[in-house]
Structure formats: C-alpha cells, structure tokens
Structure 1
Amino acid sequence: MGRVAGKVALVTGAGLGLGRASSLLLASEGARLVVSDIDEGLATHTAAEIVRGGGEALALRHDVSKPEDWSAAMAAIEQRFGRLDVLVNNAGIAIARNIEDTSLAEWRRTMAINLDGVFLGCQEGIKLMKKSGGGSIINLSSIDGVIGEADLAAYCASKGGVRTLTKAVAVHCAEQRYGIRCNSIHPGYIWTPQTENYLRDLGTLEQEKAKALSRHPIGFLGEPNDIAYMVLYLASDESKFVTGSEMVVDGGYLAV
C-alpha cells in the first residue's frame, strides 16, 4: 500500500469498468479520489465504495465533451483538495459501425467524447497541475488507436487521435519543464460492460466473444484490474522517467 499516498486523482468515466477499477485501486494505494461520470449515480456508488474502504472520494457528474463541465470539475477539486496530481482520461464510447454505415452524428458524438474530452481534460488538467508542481496525465487509448477495426471506424479514429495527442502533450509539458508527464494506455479486449455491448452489436455474444478471444495469444481476455495496475504505475513516482509512451496491455494482440 501507499504507492500513490497523498496524491489527488481525477478519474473520468469512473462509474463502471476500467474507470471504476482504476479508482478503487488508486484509493487502496493511498490516493484521494475524484470520481466523475456522466451518470452521477454510478459516480456516487464508486465514491461510496471508496469511503467504505476507508478512503476519501468526491463524486461529480461530468460530461467530458463540455468545457463548462471541465471548468466546474477543476474548481471543485481545487476547492476540496487544493491540488491535482493525477488525471485519468478514461471516459469513452464505442459504436459498432463501419465507415459506410457510420452517420455524421455518430462520428461527431464519438469524437466529442473520446477525443474532445481528452483534449479538454489535458488543457484543464495542466492548468491545475502547474499550480500543484507537476503531475501525471494518463489517457486511455486502445489497440484500435494503433490498428484498424472494420466495424469501429469512428472509435479507431478517435483513439488514434488520443495516441498522438498524448505525445504532443508530453513533449510540450517536458519542454516547458512543468513536471507533468503524459502517457497513453492501449488495452486489448477487456471484459467490461462496454466490451459486452460492442460484441452484442456485432452478433451472437458467445460467438463474438470467442472470435475476440482467438485474437489474443495469451488465451484469455483481460480484466479491468489488468488496466488499473498500469494506471497505478503511471500515476506513481515509479514512472517518473516515463512520458510520451504507449503502454500496450493486450495479451499479445498487437504482437501477431
């Protein structure tokens, strides 16, 4: 315990899946958490679980695509904790559509949440982290930010944007000597509600799950904590020399 003791961390999309797992793990290692989600009830549930475990947490309703929600979140964090040390830009959506079937509205919604949300988060996070003397920004991209998936046209584009935006942010913060690191995480198929919904959209769940499993040489799909432990590493001072990196956690998916 104590790998991130005393740090203040904001995790977006913290109500379910990777965001929830990351929030709980960071709290168990001593961080004070701000858990945000567009569903306030889910955020409150995650925060309550942290508090029951002896941690400290603040729950916020937060639409990451809206600049005003980011400003409000940062104001609440500064008022409650006076600082921000870790930002986990996790909130995202996936719509199972190929390039021909994707509507402009679906494209724009995906970009607004997956890419605009990370852009706004980095901008606002840097402002408060500069006051705090530095920090770590962790952006959730995907293996689909590196390769293409036919049925995830908008998602692939958005996550590819997160991948390269992360590097631009990392270099800028390093050159400015802000003491702020920025890295991306690229999960393979992690069994979460989002993954389950995506596979259901493609066809019969068990058949699609078997197809997904076959693409991972390790022989099984990931669990939320497989990503949460990478978040913990990047949030901690153990990764002080790591910035602008792509941390692939995919069971060998990209190795073949």
Structure 2
Amino acid sequence: MVLELKNVEFEILKEKIVKDFSLVLNYGETKTLFGPSGCGKTTILRIISKLEIPKKGIVVNKFKKISYLFQENRLLDNLTALDNVLLCMNKPDENLVLEHFNLVGLEKKDAYKYPYELSGGMAKRVSFMRAYLSGADLILLDEPFVGLDMDLRNILVNLLAKKLEEKSIACILVTHDRFEAVMMSDEVLFLSKKQAVVKNKVTFDTLPSKRDIAFIQKAVDINFKGVIYYD
C-alpha cells in the first residue's frame, strides 16, 4: 500500500462534502472516481494533495512526487508553453517536450507561445503534458479531457495508459464520462450524488492498452447501464 485514505470525512461550514471515504492505491494502479458534478470527487483529490485537510479519518501517502492536473489549465502566464512544462520536470529536456508536443498536435511554434496566445484546447494539451512529463509517481487527473474532441482524447488516453503501464505509475482519474472511466481504469468507484459515498466498484483485468472499441463498449453497456454523467 502506497496511498491509503481510511474513513475520511470533510465538511465546509458544517456541510458534509465527503463522508466515510476509503481508498487504497498501489504503484501501477489507476482508479477512477466516477460520479456527477458536486459529488465530492475533486475534494478527494485536494485531500490527497494536501490542499485540504480532512475533519476525520486517516491519509497515508508514501508517493514521492504528485502531479495534479486541475480542471483549469493553471499555466503560468509569464512563461511560454515550453517553459511551463520544463519547470515541472525532474530532468528538463527541451527536445523531449517538443517531441511530445508534436504527438498531441502542437507545433514547434506553439511551444514558444504564452498562455494568452493559446486556444483553450491547446492550453489543455500543454497542461496535460506538464503533468505527463513531470516525473511524478502519482498523477491526479481532474476531468482532463473535457473540451477535447474524441480523436485527441483517445491519443492522450493511449499515451498515458502506455506510460502508466511501462513505468508502474499510479493514477487517480476524476470523471463523469463512462467511456473515459473504462478506457483508463483498473477499478471504477461509483460515487453517490452527494458526500462521495462509494455505492459500487467495478474492476477490469485487461490492460488499458489492450482494450479495443468492442471491449470498451461492452464494458460500458454492462457496468454503466442507466448511469450517465455528461454534466
């Protein structure tokens, strides 16, 4: 066990946001928090990253470096796209960044643009690469693919899935999209509409890199019947 949350509770102004939440995560595992907006998914990520302190419960985190991809891009305005990524790398490598930018449809000239010069989709890809190339052994992803077209989302998912498998990196994905949950996860935790209560769990034995369209569609049909979150 590298990360454990045990009976965690969190509240704001006496309103309970997370109630009795538990999770265990090891190297090489990807777990998805699946539920509608406002159910407490982001709060759990914030607790793991120590941006929030739970009112009750135990949090044990033995990962050495966490990379947190927020819903917002959060790029530094005074740095170029390239420098935003280099800043967070263990071993900054300009050529490596440029190669990966090219993989996600960003041209070399885009690397030297400032955030205000980037479109929303471009900024999201830069933010993704900042997390992807950071050298972290735990990656937290908060709805990382919202606003991207399906082809681009698939490229990012496949890149990340391959890296997680090869490097035994752990990941927690927050989403309310069924297909993203199946594409990425070893385990999906279905959360209640409020207070992040785990209502059900589904595990997948097939590696994400081996899941084709037929596998994903079948898994969605079986495990997510009547459960649709697009909000």
Say whether the fold is shared (TM-score over 0.5): no
More strand by share: 2
Q: Which TM-score tier does this pair reach, normalised by the shorter chain? A: 0.3 to 0.5
More helix by share: 1
What is the TM-score when the length of structure 2 is the normalising length?
Answer: 0.36
What is the TM-score when the length of structure 1 is the normalising length?
Answer: 0.33
Which one scores higher on RCO, CA 8 angstroms, separation ≥ 6?
Answer: 2
